[in-house]
Structures are given as structure tokens and as C-alpha cells.
Amino acid sequence: MKQEDIIAPAYINMQNPKYIEIDNLYYAGLIVVDYYREQDDILLKSLIETNINMNISIFYEKQDQYKTIKDLTYHIGNVGVDLQGANQNRQDIDIAVFTYNDAKYIRKEMQVNNENLYFLYIYVSVYSESVKELEYYLNKIEGIMQSKGIQTRRANFREEQVFKACLPIMENSIDIKKSAKRNILTSGLLSTYPFVSSSIFDENGIFVGQNIYNNSLVFIDRYDNKKYKNANMCIFGTSGAGKSFYTKLLILRYRLFGIEQYVIDPDREYTNLCKELHGTEIKIGPASDTYVNIMEIREESLEDGENGYLATKISKLIGFFNLIFGELNEEEKALLEEKLIETYKLKGINFNDESLYVKNDKEIISKRFKQSREMPLLEDLYNVLEKDKRTKKFQIKLIPFVKGSLSFFNKYTNIEINNKLIVADVYELGEDNLKYGMYLFTDLFWDKIKINRKNKKAIYLDEIWRLIGVTSNKEVASFIYKIFKTIRKYGGSGVAITQDIADLFSLENGTYGKSILNNSSIKTFFSLEEDNIKILSENIGLTDKEKIEIKSLKRGECLMFVGDNHLLVRIESSEKEKKIIDEKRSKELNIERKQDAENSYSNQ
């Protein structure tokens, strides 16, 4: 079989002068016959950003410079003589003056600024599955182009020529050239640049969805450090807008790439996803049997060549105890640090990093890092605080963590994290205590992230406002900000997720919320309420159009800031992905399908 036979349509019907019918599709053409002389925007931008089915073809014919200048000079001379002897009352005098000045301007640009003259031809071929829809598209395009000062003419009786002109065969028929031909200089060609629609197609990226305006596919590789300043992301949206689904979709797809991912799960939303992807779920709470010791110093908390294990740990613990004791002043911080140093000293740990290593009895040269049970517990600190009247108030606030309902914080670490997907479930902690568990796992995951700079990894902080909002404190917020600021050098990505925009910007006049936003190359906004849009706009700046778009987004639609690109995206997923991500909804759909099948069978 010849190649022509493979690509050739089954049938072509050209009986109607207003359209062509080819293989159940109807095609109609538009010819651009004129446009405003002065254009302050890309000529076809508004048209390209629509989702109408169409093909656009632009032809440029460069004219011989010598011949053009010669013809222009001849024309200017003849018209100039006519204007001098013409009756000023002639109706066409204004037109003659107009063309005379245009000719002089073109000649000047060609001679002085080295411009070239081109003939420009623009054709649009619109197609649809029905004649009614085709007519609707044509009217819509004509309206859009007319609003931009572009005049079009329908290609009635010339549909075949316009259709061929829009095929990649470079055929610009003489039958339509005369109607479409317009002059344009080299500088003016910029206004006809067709590749203006925001689209992201990173070579090694994952599929995110479709550009709402033009249906182009969106692939993003947030780890491309040549294109993006960092791999950090922000995902904001109201409940039910699609924020959680999108986050789970990212986790699922990056799991296929073998990227290490750590998730803080305050609402128990990622359990099924973790199970389906054979990840490791760690639960902490009254009923859990897995524990993490907040006082433990981990070997991976410092990289090779660095030193200061105890100093680094104390700075993190000050943030944690700020959550428990409330905002500490400088005197209280100094006092608490003194007691922490004393607590670690009881376990033989001091500011000399060698104190964290135990020499092997058999081999003097060999040594190992101290294990979990060789580290202090909160109870050890509790006992130290009890001995000093100045720290009695701190000791009292530690009672729930040592002897009360939160005593699971007073346990030795009994977990090993070797999986590339770890979900930390802190749901059982309850509303008031979530921040303690979130900080605990953030500290743990941050140490894991620093182990190998070559490996790509990500930490997802759901409901991040709890750590950098009004219920938190400056030390904790600074730690979270540090993660977003420095995670790039460890090959990592910080992902901030929240629906509470107001709370996110409530601490220190929004300093930390704004800093995290500014340190995220990719920002994703699902539908938001008016108040949240206003707060967001005050902190990052949104155009009036973007404010309207965010407010009117449907479920699963979002406005994405990817580097310098701003685009509206419809998140897309397969049925299998939906089943993995939303098991409950998948079961509901199966029940609905089963009921429909049974009803259909009974009706028969």
C-alpha cells in the first residue's frame, strides 16, 4: 500500500460552498483581510488561547529590497506630483495623502533601519463534528478577531484553497492570495509570533493535565535545576477543590520515578495511597505502637565534614519546646538550653562530637554511633527540670508528655525507615496536639533528606499553617523556612499544602508564609474564597484576571505559576489512578455501575 493511501481520507465532500466535509468532520475557512495599523499585542494571541478546534497558517513572502525601494520611490514621486496639482476638495485626497506618507515611512525604514518588506497572509481553518457547532465556532472566532481590530472574510467557494493552505504542505493558492495579502516590515513580524500560549512540556517531567485554554499537555519536571530555581511547590485550595487529589497524584507519579517521598498526614488522607504503593506508614498516638524519640540525635543530622551534633539538636529542641511551653524569652531559652546540656551530659554526650561514638571493644579503631536507647528521653529532661525552682513551670507542662496522655512521646525510637515512600500519620493526636507530631516527623524527615545529595526526594507538609501560622512560633517557622530555603542543595523538594491562607500569613505579619511562597518555583492555586484570594494577592500579587479565574475554577482546575509561566490547568488522571487515590469514591462508582447494570437488566 502506498503512503498516500494510508494518510488519504476515506471521502471528501465539497458540494457545499460554505464548508468541506472530510471523514465526518466539517471544515470552514477564514481569511484575514485587514488589521489595525498599530498593534500593541501579539496579533493572534486571543485566538490561540481559546480551545476551539482550528489550524492557523501564516505565510511570509520577503520582497526584493532593491526593487521595493525603486517602486516606492516611483510611487512617491507620482503621488507627490498629483497631490501638488490636485484639488483639495477631492474626496480621495485624504487616502492619497495616507498612502503617500506610508510609502515614505516604509522607504525610510528600509533605507535607514535596514528593515525588509514582507507580504503577509493569514488563514484559519476551523473544524467540528457538526455544522451547527462549526457555525458557532466561526461566529466566536470572528467576534474575537474583530474585538482585536482584525477583519476576516469567510472563504466561501474557496474552502478547498484555505484548507490546503492550513496543511503542512506550504501551498498558498493564487486564488486567495490577493484577498489576504498585506504589507508588513521586519519589526512588525513580531506581532504575528504564534507560539504565545502558556504551555509547559519539560522533557523529563510528569504529566499534570491539560492547559484549559488550548488543550495542550502539561508536563513538569520540578527537579530541572536549569529551568527552575528550586523544586519547591505550594498547593493552595479550599476543601473539595481538588488540592488533596492533586497532591496524591504527584506522589503516585513520582513514586514511579523512584523518588524518595516523605508525607506529613494530619487528616489520615494518604493511608490507602501508601498501602497501594507499598510504602511505610508510621502512626503516632495513644493507640500506636511506633515511637520516635524527639531527644534522639541521629547520625544523619549532620553531613560528612560538618560538626556540632549537640548544638544543632538543641536549636531544634528549642523550637519544639516553644510549642509546648509557649513563646520563650531569651532568658528562658538560655535556662532551657542549660538544662538540655545537663540532660545530655547524663548520657555522656557533650559538644565534642566524639562523645556520640562508642568504641568497639574488640577493635579499638572501629567505632559506632550511639543507638536510640543510649539517648536521653523527655523523662530525663523532666527530672533535671524538677531539681531547679526556676524551671518548675517547664516541668509541670511536660507532665502530659512524660506521665500523661502524650506519654508516647517519652519512648525510644523503634522504627527503621528504609522505604522510599513514608507517610507519617498524626491524626490520632487530635486538633490541639497535631503540631507536636508534625514537628517531630518534620525533624526526622529532614535528617533523612540530608543523607544523600544525589538522590531526589520530597517532603510534603499538609496543613503547613500549623507549623508557620499563629499557633506556631518563630523558631518552628524559621526551621520550616530553612527547609524550603536549603532543601534544593540536597536534591530535595518542599511541598507546602494548605486551605487556610489566612492562618498561613498570620504569624509575624505573614513573613514566613510569604517567604515560603517566594521560595517555591511552582505555585498551584485551586478554587479559593474571596477573602483568601485577597490575602494571597496582597502577598504575591495577582492580576485582576487571575483573581477572577481562581474564584471561578471548577473542581480539579487550577491556576499554576510555573517559573515565569502562568497557565490554567485541568488536572487529568486515569481510572486506575483514581481508584488508587480515592478508594471510597471508586467503590461508590462500582456500586453505581452495578445498580445501573441491574436496572438495565430488569428493564429488559
Q: What is the CATH number of the domain that holds 340?
A: 1.10.8.730
Residues 336-365 have pLDDT tens digits of 999 999 999 999 999 999 999 997 766 556
Q: Are residues 40 and 150 in the same domain?
A: yes
All three cell numbers of 452: 544523600
Q: Is residue 77 part of a domain?
A: no
Of residues 460 and 92, the one with the higher pLDDT is 460
Per-residue pLDDT, averaged over 69-73, amounts to 92
pLDDT-derived band at 7 (thresholds 50, 70, 90) equals confident
Look at residues 145, 169, 192 and tell me which one is the last residue of a structural domain.
192
Domain span holding position 233:
229-290+415-572
Asked if 18 and 154 touch (Cβ cutoff 8 Å), the reply is yes
Rounded to 5°, angle at Cα 336 from 335 and 339? 90
Asked if 493 and 457 touch (Cβ cutoff 8 Å), the reply is yes
The CATH number for 470's domain is 3.40.50.300
Q: Are residues 33 and 138 in the same domain?
A: yes
Q: Is residue 110 part of a domain?
A: no
Phi, psi of 358 (to 5 degrees): -115, 130
pLDDT at residue number 598: 57
Q: Is residue 206 part of a domain?
A: no
Asked if 421 and 296 touch (Cβ cutoff 8 Å), the reply is no
* Separation in Å, CA 192 to CA 33, 52, 119, 174, 175: 14, 19, 12, 22, 23
Question: Looking at the predicted structure, is the pLDDT value of residue 595 above 70?
Answer: no
Mean pLDDT of the chain: 89
pLDDT-derived band at 88 (thresholds 50, 70, 90) equals low
Instruction: Taking each helix axis as running N to C, give the angle between helix 511-518 and helix 530-540, from 0 to 180 degrees, rounded to the nearest 10.
Output: 70
* Cα separation, 502 vs 504, whole angstroms: 5
pLDDT at residue number 102: 85
Q: Are residues 380 and 420 in the same domain?
A: no
Of residues 83 and 595, the one with the higher pLDDT is 83
Q: Are residues 568 and 579 in the same domain?
A: no
Q: Are residues 275 and 347 in the same domain?
A: no
Question: Looking at the predicted structure, is the pLDDT value of residue 591 above 60?
Answer: no
Q: Is residue 424 part of a domain?
A: yes
Q: Are residues 156 and 49 in the same domain?
A: yes
SS3 content of the chain, % helix, strand, coil (to 5): 45, 20, 35
Q: Is residue 86 part of a domain?
A: no
Beta partners for 100? none
pLDDT at residue number 161: 97
pLDDT at residue number 54: 93
Residues in Cβ contact with 205 at an 8 Å cutoff, skipping those fewer than 6 apart? 219, 220, 221, 222, 224
Where would I find the beta strands (DSSP E) of 323-365? Answer: 357-359
Q: Is residue 26 part of a domain?
A: yes
Q: Is residue 97 part of a domain?
A: no
Domain count, the chain: 4
* Cα separation, 100 vs 82, whole angstroms: 10
Of residues 4 and 20, the one with the higher pLDDT is 20
Look at residues 354, 382, 413 and tell me which one is the last residue of a structural domain.
413
pLDDT at residue number 73: 92
Per-residue pLDDT, averaged over 568-590, amounts to 78
Residues in Cβ contact with 331 at an 8 Å cutoff, skipping those fewer than 6 apart? none
Q: Are residues 560 and 578 in the same domain?
A: no
Look at residues 413, 428, 459 and tell me which one is the last residue of a structural domain.
413
pLDDT at residue number 589: 45
* Cα separation, 176 vs 421, whole angstroms: 61
Phi, psi of 540 (to 5 degrees): -125, -15
Q: Are residues 58 and 168 in the same domain?
A: yes
* Cα separation, 450 vs 467, whole angstroms: 21
Where would I find the beta strands (DSSP E) of 216-336? Answer: 217-220, 233-236, 260-265, 280-283
Share of the chain above pLDDT 90, in %: 69
pTM to 2 decimal places: 0.74
Q: Is residue 198 part of a domain?
A: no
Q: Are residues 396 and 422 in the same domain?
A: no
Q: Are residues 316 and 354 in the same domain?
A: yes
pLDDT-derived band at 597 (thresholds 50, 70, 90) equals low
Question: Looking at the predicted structure, is the pLDDT value of residue 72 above 50?
Answer: yes
Residues in the chain: 604
pLDDT at residue number 27: 97
Q: Are residues 307 and 344 in the same domain?
A: yes
Q: Are residues 568 and 581 in the same domain?
A: no
